[in-house]
Structure 1
Amino acid sequence: MITFLLEHKIAFLIISEVIFWVFVVLALLFRYWFRMKKASLVAFIILILEELAVLFLGVLDYIHVGTFSSFQVIIVIFIIYGLIFGKSDFKKLDRWIKKKVAHLKGETQSIVEEDTRGDVYGKEHAKQERRNFYGHFLTFVMAHIIFAILFGFVPDSLFNIPLPQGIEGIIKTSNHNPIASISNIWMKILIIDFIWSFSYTIFPKKEK
């Protein structure tokens, strides 16, 4: 059973994420459609169990291969992301489903208006985008601290590592130095996120 699990670890990781989000959405739908307040608690428990399952898969992989791999690095990133952004993303999803259910049930406009109070524009939206980037940057720093402690990885120059071309390039680079490959790609994503987030400081979002 364990051998089968490890042979298909990528598939199991993807399946676990899909199942997690499906059950969370269902739990929130039950909460707002059937007024089952305890459904949110169920969704939170599912969140914890999913993180533990991902961690367990990473530990099994390490025991099996006897060394750190790119798969385990991905697991570490998943867990760090869940710890830092999991709660805020859960709230966003909760708010979105609440709004959709209110529309579908034809509830009073006041309920919809109450839910849309979180919509922000202008300077406030720009501040929110910058705050999101700071969270992303903090995740990046924390991940690299963990990489340094666990794997002894300290990037000399992330920009000197060529970005792999296509799937084959990613696999080859990951086999050579999986952490360096992931770090390089992540750095480029971080730069794009920086440009996107701070663009709202220069060009504020206008209310429709």
Structure 2
Amino acid sequence: MIAFIIGCEIAFWVFIVVGLVFRYMLRMPKPGAALLLCTPLIDLALLVATVIHLNGGAEADFTHGLAAIYIGASIAFGHSMIRWADERFAHRFAGGPPPRKKAKHGTEHARSERQAWLKHLLAWAIGCACLLGMILMVGDADRTEALLQVVRIWSIILGIDFLISFSYTLWPRKSKETV
């Protein structure tokens, strides 16, 4: 299962890079866009493989939880990851403007941190929905305890991320010029 998850992550980036190569280097925007739009199919393949594996009688373990985390993160962060790569390809190969620099201090940095946490919350919600769906599908608490453990640990991580991300709202980073 872990090899399939790694394969899906590799496939995700391959589809992005090949899509951007078609879009900018080969000047074929429609096939490039089609390849970029295929990235959600990777999530679907991972979800189907996980369900088949569990329906085949496998005991749920951390790798099944990792699949749910990957799906949630891919859906929540996928668009912004593609946009990040697209900006760099456009600048390097199509004369586009330089990529936007990430704010490192002040209210803009605080806003960016809050938005990133909200994406993490979305990833958590999607991932937990997948995990709970797997738990209900298996219907055996002993076989799915590892999935509940993933929910617990991820919830703690989400809470820590909240504290860190929103701390910048109360105590914004100061630029070196103002220190």
For normalisation by structure 2, the TM-score amounts to: 0.72
Contact 1:61-1:72 within 8 A present in 2 as well:
no
The structure with the larger Rg is: 1
Distance 1:22 1:124 in 2: 32
Q: In the alignment, does 2:110 pair up with 1:126?
A: yes
Distance 1:79 1:190 in 2: 16
1:90-110 residue CA offsets vs partner (Å, 9 max, x unmatched)? 2122223323436xxxx4xxx
Q: AA paired with 1:198?
A: F
Distance 2:132 2:55 in 1: 20
Which residue number corresponds to residue 151 of structure 1? 135
Which residue number corresponds to residue 87 of structure 1? 79
Contact 1:122-1:205 within 8 A present in 2 as well:
yes
Distance 1:147 1:53 in 2: 16
Contact 1:58-1:71 within 8 A present in 2 as well:
no
Distance 2:92 2:160 in 1: 31
1:73-129 residue CA offsets vs partner (Å, 9 max, x unmatched)? 333333233333222222122223323436xxxx4xxx334x43x754631231121
Which residue number corresponds to residue 196 of structure 1? 164
Distance 2:75 2:117 in 1: 16
**1:71-86 equivalent positions in 2, closer than 5 A:** 71-86=63-78
Which residue number corresponds to residue 97 of structure 2? 112
Distance 1:123 1:204 in 2: 8
Change (3 A) 1:199 1:82: same
Which residue number corresponds to residue 120 of structure 2? 136
Describe the SS at the equivalent of 1:35: coil
Moved segments of 4+, more than 6 Å: none
**1:13-32 equivalent positions in 2, closer than 5 A:** 13-32=5-24
CA displacement at 1:54 relative to structure 2: 0.8
Distance 1:14 1:101 in 2: 29
Which residue number corresponds to residue 45 of structure 1? 37
RMSD across aligned C-alpha pairs, in angstroms?
3.2
Which residue number corresponds to residue 33 of structure 1? 25
Which ranges of structure 2 fall in alignment gaps of 5 or more residues? 137-142
Contact 2:50-2:67 within 8 A present in 1 as well:
yes
Q: In the alignment, does 2:91 pair up with 1:99?
A: yes
Change (3 A) 1:61 1:149: closer
Question: 1 or 2 for the larger relative contact order (CA 8 Å, sep ≥6)?
Answer: 2
Which ranges of structure 1 fall in alignment gaps of 5 or more residues? 1-8, 153-174
Contact 1:69-1:178 within 8 A present in 2 as well:
yes
Which residue number corresponds to residue 140 of structure 2? none
Contact 1:31-1:40 within 8 A present in 2 as well:
yes
Distance 1:14 1:137 in 2: 23
Contact 1:28-1:39 within 8 A present in 2 as well:
no
CA displacement at 1:55 relative to structure 2: 1.8
Describe the SS at the equivalent of 2:173: coil
State which of 148, 155, 162 in structure 2 corresponds to 1:180. 148
